Amino acid sequence: MGGKRLKNTGDAVVNSHMQSHLFWGVNSPLSAFTGVSLIVIASGQITSAVVCVFALLWVNSVTLFVSGIARKTLPEKGSEAVLVFVSSFAGFLFYFFLSIVSPFQAMESALCILLCPVFLAASGIYLRTREYDTPEMVTQAASEALVLGMLVLGLALIREPLGSGSVSLPGLGIIRFMREQPLALLNISSGALILLGYGTALYRNRRNQYTNQEDD
């Protein structure tokens, strides 16, 4: 009985670790399918993907920081609506600062920045980090934002060179290295969804292998 109880406890620990893992866990963007629209839209160009990474980090960190320091003053009912407003305001501030530095890039990335608060609300991080200390909340929020941001950037590094035959870099503009577009389908949303579908299938296959290794 004792050995069985220990085994059950070990399985519970493994399952808890698996569920909370930033990339392989149930709250990962490719597992929960949160942020799909942001991944598709922001991965069209490398420059937009880089802006998206910083926007996600800013919106998530600022929102959860405000949530942590104001948790005692926020009402139990309606607190999520207040934090949605806070995340939207954080997104507006990021857009405002970006428009000062690069107005053209701000216009190009406006939709991506607008979707960052949507991803934050869809991820359910408000409820999952309610009992955390403020530094832990900010760290968790920034980590989840970084995971999604790296997915966006990774997809952009595939889509733009193969779809457009060019690379866009912040401050340097577009550098074209091919006259023809090798895989023009990747330039449009349907091509991005196909590529994302293959990536998700590969992710889930590797996730199952990772789960089996954790169980062993």
Q: What is the DSSP string of 138-200?
A: HHHHHHHHHHHHHHHHHHHHHHHHHHHSEEEETTTEEEE--SS-TTGGGGSHHHHHHHHHHHH
Count how many domains the chain has. Answer: 1
CA distance 208 to 35: 22
Please check whether residue 125 lies inside any domain of the structure. yes
User: Which is it for strands 166-169 and 173-176: parallel, antiparallel or unpaired?
Assistant: antiparallel
Each residue's pLDDT tens digit in the chain (216 positions)? 444 443 444 444 444 444 556 555 665 665 555 677 888 888 888 888 899 999 999 999 998 898 888 777 776 676 777 888 888 999 999 999 999 988 888 888 898 898 888 888 877 777 777 778 888 888 888 888 888 888 889 888 888 888 777 788 776 777 777 777 667 777 777 777 887 777 777 777 777 776 666 555
Please check whether residue 19 lies inside any domain of the structure. no
Cβ atoms of residues 181 and 165 within 8 Å: yes
The pLDDT tens digits for 135-182 are 888 888 888 888 888 888 988 888 888 877 778 877 677 777 777 766
Domain of residue 137: give its range. Answer: 35-215
Q: At what angle do helices 79-101 and 110-123 cross, to 10 degrees?
A: 160
Please check whether residue 64 lies inside any domain of the structure. yes
CA distance 89 to 145: 17
Q: How far is CA 20 from CA 137, 185, 201, 203, in A?
A: 14, 36, 21, 16
DSSP letter (8 states) at residue 78 = T
Phi, psi of 188 (to 5 degrees): -105, 170
Please check whether residue 23 lies inside any domain of the structure. no
> From the CB of residue 86, how many other CB atoms can be counted at a distance below 10 Å?
21
